[in-house]
C-alpha cells in the first residue's frame, strides 16, 4: 500500500495530433515543480500522471496545485488489483476522512463508493466492485450509512495497471502548461494588478519574463525587494522568472522638466512600453503584458490605452481589461500576491504624478510632447544599465 497522487489534465485532451507535445511539456513542468522534494517521482500512464514516493510532506500537494495544466488531483493509495487490498485501502482512507471531520461529524457518517474499471480484464465490473467495497466498509466501521445522492464522503476506486483508491478530488490550477504558448514580457510594478495579469497569462501557457522600473532614490531598495518577492510567488506557478530591473529615474526627471505635466503619466507609460519592447526582442518574446483595467485610472481610458499602444509595434495583452478592482483583489488573495502587493513601498508610478492628468489625450499632442526629450538616447542608456535577476520560488 503506497501513498501517491493521481493527477488529471483537461484541455490537453482536445489537442489532437499536437497532444504529445503538450503532455511532454506538462510532465516536465510537474517534474520541475517537485524538484525540491527528494525521492519524489513522476510517471505518466493511461491519460493520468502519477506522483509517487511522496512521503508525508504536505507541501508536495501545494506544489502540485500550482502547476498550470492540472485540473484536479487526488491523494490516493496505490495497491494490487485485488479486492481485499482495495477494501483495506478504502477502510484506511475512510477512517482518516472521518477523523478529519470529527468536529462536525454527526452520529451517522454517510458515504458511497464509485468504481471505475479501465482494465476490463479485472474480474469484477464497476458495480460489483463498488458493492464489495461498500459492504466491507459497512461491516468494519460503526455508524456508517450509504447515501448515494448526498454522501458526506465518496470513496473512489480506479482499476488501471494498479488499483487506486481515494476520497478527495482537489482542484488544480487548470489552464495550459507554461511554455506551450510562447513567451511574453510582463510590465511588473509593485502593485496589486500586474502580478495577477502575469498569473493569468501564464495560465494560458505563456512563459513570463518581467520588467520592473526602479526610480532610485525616489523609490527605495525595499520597493525593489517587494517586486522580487512578487516574482518568487509567481514563479511557484510560472517557473523561474527572469526579472529585468530598469533604472527609470533619469527618464522621469527629463519628462518632468521638459514636458507638459498633465501628460506625464501617458509619456512615462509610453517609455515603459518602448523599453519593454526592446527587452522582448532580446528575449525572443512576442507580446507585452500589462495589468491595466479599462477605466480604473486616468492612464487606462480607451484614449490613454490607444496612446500607450502607439508607442510599440508588438501586441499588448491586458488580461484584466474587463475586471473591476474587487475581482482583481480577490484573485490576488487566492494566488498569494495580495499581502506582498499592499506593502507600503512606493513604485515609480506613484512619483512625478500630475495633479490633473489628461484622461482623453490626443495622440498627435502626445507625440509632439514626446519630441521635447531625447527619447532614443534615454532608452538606450536605460537598457544598457538594466539589472537582470533570475528568480525562483
Residue with cell 525521492: 39
| 78 class by beta-carbon count within 10 Å (0-12 exposed, 13-18 middle, 19+ buried) | buried
Cβ proximity of 211 and 218 under 8 Å? no
Cβ proximity of 293 and 193 under 8 Å? yes
CA separation for the pair 289, 202 (Å, rounded) = 10
CA distances from 336 to 112, 312, 341, 348 (A): 35, 32, 10, 23
Q: 300: which DSSP letter?
A: G
Annotated binding site for ATP: 187-188, 212-213, 269, 291, 300
Residues composing the chain:
393
pLDDT string in tens for the chain (393-residue length): 899 999 999 888 777 888 899 999 999 999 999 999 999 999 998 788 999 999 888 899 999 999 999 999 999 999 999 999 999 999 999 999 888 877 445 578 899 999 999 989 999 999 999 999 999 999 999 889 999 999 999 999 999 999 999 999 999 999 999 999 999 999 999 899 999 999 999 999 999 999 999 988 888 888 899 999 999 999 999 999 999 999 999 999 999 999 999 999 999 999 999 999 999 999 999 999 999 999 888 778 999 999 999 999 999 999 999 999 999 999 999 999 999 999 887 665 666 677 788 889 999 999 999 999 999 999 999 999 999 999 987
Helices (H) and strands (E) in the chain, counts: 13, 15
Q: Any residues with CB less than 8 A from the CB of 147 and at least 6 apart, and which?
A: 110, 111, 112
pTM for this predicted structure: 0.90
Domains of the chain: 1-169 (3.30.2130.30), 181-389 (3.40.50.620)
Region for 39 from its dihedrals, namely left if φ exceeds 0, alpha if ψ lies in -120 to 50, beta otherwise:
left
Kindly tell me the sign of the dihedral angle through the C-alpha atoms of 267, 268, 272, 278: positive
CA distances from 309 to 50, 196, 203, 392 (A): 45, 21, 24, 31
Cβ proximity of 90 and 132 under 8 Å? no
For residue 1, which of 69, 59, 79, 53 has the smallest C-alpha distance?
Answer: 79
- Extract the C-alpha cell encoding 306: 490607444
For residue 113, which of 85, 93, 142, 143 has the smallest C-alpha distance?
Answer: 93
CA separation for the pair 234, 231 (Å, rounded) = 5
Annotated binding site: 187-188, 212-213, 269, 291, 300
Amino acid at each position: 500500500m503506497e501513498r501517491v497522487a493521481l493527477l488529471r489534465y483537461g484541455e490537453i485532451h482536445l489537442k489532437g495530433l499536437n497532444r504529445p507535445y503538450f503532455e511532454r511539456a506538462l510532465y516536465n513542468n510537474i517534474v520541475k515543480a517537485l524538484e525540491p522534494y527528494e525521492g519524489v517521482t513522476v510517471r505518466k500512464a493511461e491519460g493520468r500522471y502519477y506522483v509517487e514516493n511522496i512521503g508525508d510532506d504536505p507541501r508536495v500537494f501545494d506544489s502540485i496545485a500550482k502547476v498550470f495544466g492540472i485540473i484536479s488531483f487526488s491523494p490516493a493509495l496505490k495497491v494490487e488489483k485485488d479486492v481485499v487490498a482495495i477494501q483495506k485501502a478504502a477502510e484506511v482512507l475512510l477512517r482518516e476522512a472521518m477523523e478529519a471531520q470529527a468536529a462536525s461529524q454527526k452520529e451517522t457518517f454517510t458515504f458511497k463508493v464509485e468504481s471505475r474499471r479501465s482494465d476490463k480484464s479485472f474480474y469484477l465490473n464497476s458495480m460489483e466492485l463498488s458493492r464489495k467495497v461498500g459492504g466491507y466498509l459497512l461491516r468494519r466501521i460503526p455508524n456508517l450509512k450509504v447515501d448515494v445522492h448526498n454522501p458526506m464522503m465518496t470513496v473512489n476506486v480506479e482499476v488501471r495497471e494498479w488499483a487506486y483508491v481515494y476520497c478527495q478530488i482537489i482542484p488544480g490550477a487548470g489552464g495550459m502548461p507554461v511554455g506551450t504558448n510562447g513567451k511574453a514580457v510582463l510590465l511588473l510594478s509593485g502593485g496589486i494588478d500586474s502580478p495577477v495579469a502575469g498569473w493569468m497569462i501564464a495560465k494560458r501557457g505563456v512563459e513570463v519574463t518581467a520588467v520592473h522600473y526602479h526610480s532610485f532614490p525616489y523609490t527605495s531598495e525595499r520597493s525593489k525587494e517587494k517586486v522580487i518577492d512578487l516574482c518568487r510567488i509567481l514563479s511557484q506557478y510560472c517557473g523561474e522568472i527572469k526579472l529585468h530591473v530598469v533604472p527609470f529615474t533619469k527618464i522621469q526627471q527629463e519628462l518632468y522638466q521638459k514636458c507638459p505635466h498633465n501628460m506625464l503619466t501617458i509619456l512615462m507609460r509610453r517609455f515603459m512600453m518602448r523599453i519593454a519592447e526592446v527587452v522582448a526582442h532580446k528575449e525572443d518574446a512576442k507580446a507585452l503584458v500589462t495589468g491595466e483595467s479599462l477605466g480604473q485610472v486616468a492612464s487606462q481610458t480607451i484614449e490613454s490605452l490607444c496612446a500607450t499602444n502607439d508607442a510599440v509595434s508588438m501586441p499588448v495583452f491586458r488580461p484584466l481589461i474587463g475586471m473591476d478592482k474587487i475581482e482583481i483583489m480577490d484573485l490576488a488573495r487566492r494566488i498569494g500576491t495580495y499581502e506582498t502587493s499592499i506593502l507600503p513601498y512606493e513604485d515609480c508610478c506613484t512619483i512625478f504624478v500630475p495633479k490633473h492628468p489628461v484622461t482623453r489625450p490626443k495622440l498627435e499632442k502626445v507625440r509632439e510632447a514626446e519630441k521635447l526629450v531625447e527619447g532614443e538616447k534615454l532608452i538606450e542608456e536605460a537598457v544598457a544599465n538594466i539589472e537582470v535577476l533570475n528568480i525562483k520560488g
